[in-house]
């Protein structure tokens, strides 16, 4: 009987368990879970703050999942060392788990810069886990002034989640625009306007450098008083297990399309990995839930002796604030087709006869048709791209393509 | 598994399937009450291309990308049918971002909706098929297109 060990208990781990079981109903599966929760929907923690969901509905799988899958979960435990030669994983309680195949699905952690005086701030939080969200939920009062450092996805979703619960939400970022990793200035401005209309305050191009109790001093010299501080500067892939074992690591654990790492028998999946972004041809950390799910399943199948590849990784995000959605996918390179109104913006990026990326704000209908063109690397010469510029429609495909898509099972 | 297929050559582009779909999923017994004077949100939609029309709805894919992409774990597939648990959906639109067929869209309340083959509503079988005047929409078992 094969022994499978998964380090981490997020979406990639759940996918991995399911992948293993698709190929091996017998083997022993052990999951090492640092968090004391069954797998949950991490991106929903801001909706939890907002009161739109609760821990029960945030479960990623039903309560009988692990039992049905025959997986044992060690809650509150961490993997601390891999002995690849012996095929063992050491845990933080001193125990050792032998494995035939190991999957590292350790996710990422908030990056907290060494701000001067940070220890003097009593009410400080990061925003990454359900426990983080619950702690913040308990701390926030109707009259709290909240300062969020970081105007990325995590910081802004936190801001949205808290907005109606508290007096004041201010977000600062050293970058001159919000969501700087996925939006350019113009698109960011559209989203920022929506957030501001709902009462979120911004301090951009300026960030906190020093803290003293309930006051932040900004780079510009301005001071910002607050009651609650949320640090959402960025995240780092949790790669230390792999690094210490001598495996290949860059910004994430390097994996091939089978989710195999540089160490035989060791796989990795999810936010801790760095794989290929097929839209740019470059390696990237694609820390998004869908990729964690695809990668986890792929790793599991291969760990169990099956054969699966995931070679369609691209960055993609659907992010909405107060009803305005921005959808982004792929890479922003090449020729641009653009359409805009006062409240919407569409940009399609093409290069070498392929759709490489897009950016849609306020016009997200059926966007997956565009995404599939990127993922499938569909030659634009084979479709009616003029029609696709106007809107995402399958009628732009050739009769032969339509017959394949709609004439039988897919 | 049986799925909904559309014969492009027979589709008249009359949009009746959209109305029948919206009515079937309205939970109401009066079509006028269900549809009159309000925007309809059907789970099937007629596409119009170069001299062709045809209706598109969820393909209930063998390996559905929406299921693996849903950030709320709200979409699942059982017995050949892809379903949404709308009580868990938070309206993030990630499924819209990934579905290659454009088969998901928000309902009136912001939670996503899609074709679930009318198996859970009062029809019990796809209303778009039953109401198609030219029998362009069928509900049948097929393999992969060759």
- Which of A368, A369, A405 best probes binding to B when mutated, by most B CB atoms within 10 angstroms? A368
What value, to the nearest 5°, has the Cα angle with vertex A319 and ends B48 and A364?
10
Question: Based on the domain organization, do B75 and B48 belong to the same domain?
Answer: no
* DSSP β-bridge partners for residue A79: A91
Chain B touched by A64 (CB under 8 Å): no
**Same fold for the domain at A3-108+236-303 and the one at A325-406?**
no
Residue A324 pLDDT more than 90? yes
From chain B, which residues contact A within 8 Å (Cβ)?
1, 3, 5-6, 8, 47-50, 52, 54, 56, 59, 61-62, 65, 68-69, 71-73, 87-88, 90-102, 104-105, 142-146
pLDDT in tens, A55-78: 999 999 999 999 999 999 999 999
- Which of B7, B49, B97 best probes binding to A when mutated, by most A CB atoms within 10 angstroms? B97
The stretch A202-209 carries a mean pLDDT of 95
At the topology level, CATH places domain A3-108+236-303 in FAD/NAD(P)-binding domain (3.50.50)
CA distance A100 to A118: 44
Give the pLDDT of residue A375.
97
Sheet holding A215-218, edge to edge: A208-212, A215-218, A223-225
Question: Based on the domain organization, do B50 and B1 belong to the same domain?
Answer: yes
Inter-CA distances, B128 with A43, A97, A185, B20, B57, Å: 35, 55, 45, 6, 10
CA distance A288 to A215: 34
Residue A344 pLDDT more than 80? yes
The stretch B114-140 carries a mean pLDDT of 95
Residue A343 pLDDT more than 90? no
The stretch A95-124 carries a mean pLDDT of 97
Question: Based on the domain organization, do B119 and B88 belong to the same domain?
Answer: no
Question: Based on the domain organization, do B53 and B1 belong to the same domain?
Answer: yes
Question: Based on the domain organization, do B67 and B52 belong to the same domain?
Answer: no
pLDDT band per the 50, 70, 90 thresholds, residue B11: very high
Q: In chain A, whose CA is at the least distance from the CA of B55?
A: A406
Q: How many contacts, defined by CB atoms under 8 Å, are there between A and B?
A: 136
Task: Please check whether residue B106 lies inside any domain of the structure.
Answer: no
Count the neighbouring beta carbons within 10 Å of the beta carbon of residue A200. 24
Give the pLDDT of residue B50.
80
pLDDT band per the 50, 70, 90 thresholds, residue A108: very high
Question: Based on the domain organization, do B7 and B50 belong to the same domain?
Answer: yes
Q: Where are the beta strands (DSSP E) in chain B?
A: 2-6, 45-48, 53-56, 75-78, 81-84, 105-106, 112-113, 137-141
Alpha-carbon distance B60 to nearest alpha carbon in chain A (angstroms) = 8
Question: Based on the domain organization, do B84 and B120 belong to the same domain?
Answer: no
* DSSP β-bridge partners for residue A126: A231
Grouping H, G, I as helix, E, B as strand and the rest as coil, residue A79 is: strand
Q: Where are the beta strands (DSSP E) in A65-191?
A: 71-75, 79-83, 88-91, 96-98, 101-104, 108-110, 124-126, 145-149, 168-173
Count the neighbouring beta carbons within 10 Å of the beta carbon of residue A347. 19
Task: Please check whether residue B108 lies inside any domain of the structure.
Answer: no
Task: Give backbone dihedrals phi and psi of B136, rounded to 5 degrees, phi first.
Answer: -80, -25
The stretch A177-204 carries a mean pLDDT of 95
Contact between A316 and A287 under an 8 Å Cβ cutoff? The reply is no
Alpha-carbon distance A148 to nearest alpha carbon in chain B (angstroms) = 22
Q: Tell me the CATH number at B86.
A: 3.30.70.20
- Cβ A406–B72 below 8 Å, yes or no? no
Residue (of B16, B33, B38, B34) closest to B25 by Cα position: B34
Burial class (CB in 10 A: 0-12, 13-18, 19+), A94: exposed
CA distance A330 to A312: 11
Q: Where are the beta strands (DSSP E) in A266-311?
A: 266-268, 273-277, 282-284
Question: Based on the domain organization, do B96 and B142 belong to the same domain?
Answer: no
Location of structure tokens 């690094």: A243
Query: E strand or H helix at A211, and its extent?
Result: strand A208-212
CA distance A109 to A137: 20
CA distance B101 to B82: 14
Token code pair at residue A325 = 């959605």
How much of chain B exceeds pLDDT 90, in percent?
A: 89
Task: Give backbone dihedrals phi and psi of B56, rounded to 5 degrees, phi first.
Answer: -120, 130
Question: Based on the domain organization, do B48 and B19 belong to the same domain?
Answer: yes
How much of chain A exceeds pLDDT 90, in percent?
A: 99
Residue B146 pLDDT more than 80? no
Mean pLDDT of chain A: 97
At the topology level, CATH places domain A325-406 in Enolase-like; domain 1 (3.30.390)
CA distance A298 to A276: 15
The stretch A299-313 carries a mean pLDDT of 97
| Residues of chain A found within 8 Å of residue B97, distances taken between Cβ atoms | 316-318, 327, 329, 364, 367-368, 371
Question: Based on the domain organization, do B71 and B120 belong to the same domain?
Answer: no
Q: In chain A, positions 15-34, which contact chain B (CB-CB < 8 Å)?
A: 15
Task: Please check whether residue B107 lies inside any domain of the structure.
Answer: no
Alpha-carbon distance A24 to nearest alpha carbon in chain B (angstroms) = 19
Burial class (CB in 10 A: 0-12, 13-18, 19+), A100: middle
- Cβ A290–B95 below 8 Å, yes or no? no
Give the pLDDT of residue A236.
97
Chain B touched by A60 (CB under 8 Å): yes
Out of B71, B87, B146, whose CB is closest to A289? B71
pLDDT band per the 50, 70, 90 thresholds, residue B103: very high
| Residues of chain B found within 8 Å of residue A386, distances taken between Cβ atoms | none
Q: Residues A385, A391, A392, A394: is their CA dihedral positive or negative?
A: negative
Contact between A48 and A131 under an 8 Å Cβ cutoff? The reply is no
Residue B49 pLDDT more than 90? no
Token code pair at residue A329 = 């996918």
Q: In chain A, positions 345-404, which contact chain B (CB-CB < 8 Å)?
A: 364-369, 371-372, 376, 384, 387, 392-396, 399, 402-404
Inter-CA distances, A238 with A74, A202, A253, Å: 19, 30, 8
Q: In chain A, whose CA is at the least distance from the CA of B76?
A: A61
CATH architecture of A118-233: 3-Layer(bba) Sandwich (3.50)
Instruction: Give the total number of structural domains in chain B.
Output: 2
- Cβ A410–B72 below 8 Å, yes or no? no
Chain B touched by A289 (CB under 8 Å): yes
The stretch A394-400 carries a mean pLDDT of 95
Question: Based on the domain organization, do B13 and B81 belong to the same domain?
Answer: no
Alpha-carbon distance A93 to nearest alpha carbon in chain B (angstroms) = 32
pTM of the model: 0.96
CA distance A358 to A40: 30
Give the pLDDT of residue B122.
87
In chain A, where the domains are located: 3-108+236-303, 118-233, 325-406
Contact between A112 and A233 under an 8 Å Cβ cutoff? The reply is yes
Domain containing residue B97: 62-101
Burial B96-106 (b: 16+ CB within 10 A, else e): bbbbbbbbbbb
Alpha-carbon distance A291 to nearest alpha carbon in chain B (angstroms) = 8
Chain B touched by A43 (CB under 8 Å): yes
Question: Based on the domain organization, do B51 and B1 belong to the same domain?
Answer: yes
Task: Please check whether residue B87 lies inside any domain of the structure.
Answer: yes
């Amino acid at each position: 009987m094969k022994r499978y060990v998964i380090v981490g208990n997020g979406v990639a781990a759940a996918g991995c368990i399911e992948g293993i079981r698709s190929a091996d109903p017998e083997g022993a599966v052990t999951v090492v879970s640092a968090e004391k929760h069954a797998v949950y929907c991490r991106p929903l923690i801001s909706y939890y703050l907002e009161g739109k969901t609760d821990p029960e509905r945030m479960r990623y799988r039903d309560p009988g999942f692990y039992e049905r899958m025959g997986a044992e979960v060690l809650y509150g435990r961490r993997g601390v060392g891999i002995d690849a030669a012996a095929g063992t994983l050491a845990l933080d309680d001193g125990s050792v788990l032998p494995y035939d195949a190991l999957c590292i699905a350790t996710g990422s952690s908030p990056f907290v810069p060494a701000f001067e005086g940070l220890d003097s701030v009593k009410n400080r939080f990061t925003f990454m886990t359900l426990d983080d969200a619950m702690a913040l939920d308990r701390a926030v009062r109707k009259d709290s002034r909240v300062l969020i450092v970081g105007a990325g996805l995590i910081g802004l979703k936190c801001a949205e989640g808290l907005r109606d619960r508290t007096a004041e939400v201010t977000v600062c970022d050293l970058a001159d625009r919000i969501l700087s990793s996925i939006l350019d200035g113009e698109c960011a401005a559209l989203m920022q306007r929506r957030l501001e209309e709902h009462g979120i305050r911004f301090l951009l191009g300026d960030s906190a450098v020093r803290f003293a109790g309930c006051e932040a001093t900004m780079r510009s010299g301005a001071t910002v008083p607050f009651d609650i501080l949320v640090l959402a500067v960025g995240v780092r892939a949790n790669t230390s297990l792999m690094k210490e074992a001598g495996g290949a690591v860059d910004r994430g654990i390097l994996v091939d399309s089978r989710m195999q790492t540089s160490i035989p028998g060791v796989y990795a999946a999810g936010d801790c990995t760095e794989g290929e972004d097929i839209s740019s041809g470059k390696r990237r950390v694609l820390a998004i839930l869908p990729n964690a799910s695809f990668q986890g399943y792929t790793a599991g199948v291969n760990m169990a002796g099956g054969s699966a590849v995931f070679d369609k990784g691209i960055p993609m995000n659907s992010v909405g604030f107060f009803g305005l959605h921005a959808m982004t996918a792929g890479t922003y390179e090449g020729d641009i087709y653009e359409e805009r109104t006062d409240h919407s913006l569409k940009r399609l990026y093409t290069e070498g006869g392929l759709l490489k990326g897009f950016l849609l704000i306020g016009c997200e209908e059926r966007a997956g048709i565009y995404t599939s063109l990127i993922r499938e690397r569909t030659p634009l010469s084979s479709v009616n791209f003029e029609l696709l510029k106007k809107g995402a429609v399958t009628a732009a495909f050739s009769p032969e393509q339509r017959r394949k898509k709609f004439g039988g099972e897919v | 598994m049986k799925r909904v297929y559309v014969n492009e050559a027979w589709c008249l582009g009359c949009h009746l399937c959209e109305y029948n779909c919206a009515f079937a999923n309205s939970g109401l017994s009066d079509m006028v009450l269900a549809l009159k004077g309000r925007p309809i949100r059907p789970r099937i939609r007629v596409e119009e291309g170069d001299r062709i029309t045809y209706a598109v709805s969820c393909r209930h894919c063998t390996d559905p990308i929406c299921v693996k992409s849903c950030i709320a774990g709200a979409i699942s597939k059982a017995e050949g049918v892809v379903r949404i648990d709308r009580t868990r959906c938070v309206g993030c639109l990630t499924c819209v971002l990934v579905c290659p067929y454009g088969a998901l869209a928000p309902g009136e309340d912001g939670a996503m909706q899609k074709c679930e083959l009318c198996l859970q509503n009062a029809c019990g079988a796809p209303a778009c098929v039953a109401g198609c005047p030219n029998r362009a929409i069928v509900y049948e078992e097929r393999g992969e297109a060759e």
